[in-house]
Amino acid sequence: MESHMDYENNWSPSGLLLSRKEQMIFFTSDLHFGHENIIRFCDRPFKSLEDMNNKLITMWNERVRERDTVYHVGDFAFKTGLQGGRLDPFEYEQKLNGTIVHIMGNHDKNNHLRNTIYQAKMKFGNHKWILQHKPPIEEEIKKGYTYLVGHVHEKWKFKIIEDTIIMNVGVDVNNFRPIKLPEVIVQVDRYRKESL
């Protein structure tokens, strides 16, 4: 899937939309709705599964409007199994603002979202992105792209492999909410200047 959209004229360096009428693009990953053990595994600041689910929904809806698009880069919800939740992932999805495009994560196989997108290539302005759940290994790196990934939770926010920047867009390192495309661009550009 390749999407060519020019957002250069819709954002400022501070990350604010110049026109509130425009659609905004967001990225996030690893919500893990219905997964109680993720609170302990990633030291998430929630009292219970219900608390986590409700706060993730609230924080999402405080940022995302109905006309916005959110690319969720894997591990949206657990369903069934030893650690799975009872609610169908569609019930969580219906509570969230915006249109959600799901990139398949390693825990999305049993959640019935019928997702078959494993990787997406995109271009916004002069930036080229690859979205995939697991960070690439050195042999998989495609030069000229910045990778937006999940999977690693709280372990790191940025990584560099062969001059290629990999950014973790997961909730565990982004205040448990989706991040706007302009914020991603500013953070990646800042990291590039400081690290390369």
Bridge pairing between strands 99-102 and 69-72: parallel
CB 37 within 8 A of CB 83: yes
Summarize pLDDT for 53-97 with one digit per residue, the tens: 999 999 999 999 999 999 999 999 876 555 555 667 788 999 999
- Domain assignment of residue 14, yes or no: no
- Domain assignment of residue 144, yes or no: yes
**What CATH code is carried by the domain that includes residue 100?**
3.60.21.10
- Domain assignment of residue 183, yes or no: yes
Summarize pLDDT for 121-169 with one digit per residue, the tens: 999 878 999 999 999 999 999 999 999 999 999 999 999 998 999 999 9
Which residue is associated with the tokens 């790196």?
A: 141
- Domain assignment of residue 17, yes or no: no
Distance between CA 157 and CA 172 in Å, rounded? 9
Domain count, the chain: 1
- Domain assignment of residue 18, yes or no: no
Alpha-carbon separation of residue 130 from 17, 40, 71, 76, 123 (angstroms): 23, 30, 12, 19, 9
The backbone torsions φ and ψ at residue 99, rounded to the nearest 5 degrees and listed phi first, read: -95, 130
**Domain span including residue 172:** 2-8+23-195
Q: What is the pTM of this model?
A: 0.85
